[in-house]
Structure 1
Amino acid sequence: MGFFDALFGRTKIPEGKTDQLFALSTALLDLETRLDSTFAGQAAIILRTVDNSGYESLEKDVQQILTLGGKDMPVTAHHVDDQQGYRWIVFEGKDPEDVINALHLTADMLKQAGYGDSLLAAMFAFTPSWYLIYTYRRAAFYPFVPQLSHRRDQAREFRIAQTLKPFMPIEKDPERWYALWDPPL
């Protein structure tokens, strides 16, 4: 924040931090063995909606890169705008490493194009029916276990967090474990 920003009370939204995403790659084996969970083949980046042609061009570039990756990165991506006004870039692929790499590459492209402050979170689907959410601004993960009627299994969330804590950065404040209901994953 610059001098005039401080003087006039303006705050700048920090850019998202993407490098901690790779902690998930190293924790995948622990997820399978300690939690009996597997990657469900889907992940997403959640963004504040951006309305301009530069952003649409960037989405086309992402599609092109994933298409060019072909056999090396067999991941598909599409975007969904939800009812709350957020944009989801949804990635699908069998190999979690490929999906993590595609997601990280896309987040870095967004940052380089000036949309780093629009990055909110990344969400990874696991079976049986839970999600791991990465908050870009806090560079930490937290579990989300939805149940029917927009309720959460908080006991299971705490068990998952405690299991993963030695292997990846877990958000320390459970008040910041925001629910992302009805994800398009």
Structure 2
Amino acid sequence: MRVDGNLELKAGVSVGVSFSSSFFSLPIPKMHRKTTAEGVTGGSVLLPCFTNKSEHKLQDIEVTWRYNDKQNVYEIIKGKSSVKDQDQKYKNRIDTFPEEFAKGNFSLQLNSLTHSDAGEYHCFIKHSHEAVTIKLHIIESTGEKDNLLWLKISIPVLFCVLVLTGCVFKKWCFNAARWDIRSWRVR
């Protein structure tokens, strides 16, 4: 891997001339934003990537999404989605928003999350020399476990309540028959 003229400023802005590795070659971005995202196993997460530049001609738009600088997650070439060189791990798991490309929004939604999806995702916006790095954390889904636990607890509790209510009602009915309502005494 080779980096020429890379200067990291305190605000997280990288300035430089070129960047290359054996996998791909991109210019070092003028602006580099970093953020985090959190997803749940089995769920989906939105990975944000956008530019604030106002004018975008679709034919000039080139965006590359990478995972840990190694795997090709997604590409937008000349304003059109491309999965030609997409890593197999991401096949049929990515949703994008093509109607937003001209507005500078190149975010993607990663679906069917697994623990192996955790890591750094890099969005390189080539035409505006910007980059976004998203550190994705994956947590275990607790929804199904919580629902199952609720079911395991509530059914026996409900059964006990019904049994006790029946016993109390039966005893009250039995005892009520022995009471003389006019005198409030047991017969």
Q: Name the one with the larger helix percent.
A: 1
Q: Name the one with the larger strand percent.
A: 2
State if a TM-score over 0.5 links the two structures.
no
Q: Give TM-score scaled by structure 2 length.
A: 0.31
Query: Greater relative contact order (Cα 8 A, min sep 6): structure 1 or 2?
Result: 1
Q: Give TM-score scaled by structure 1 length.
A: 0.32
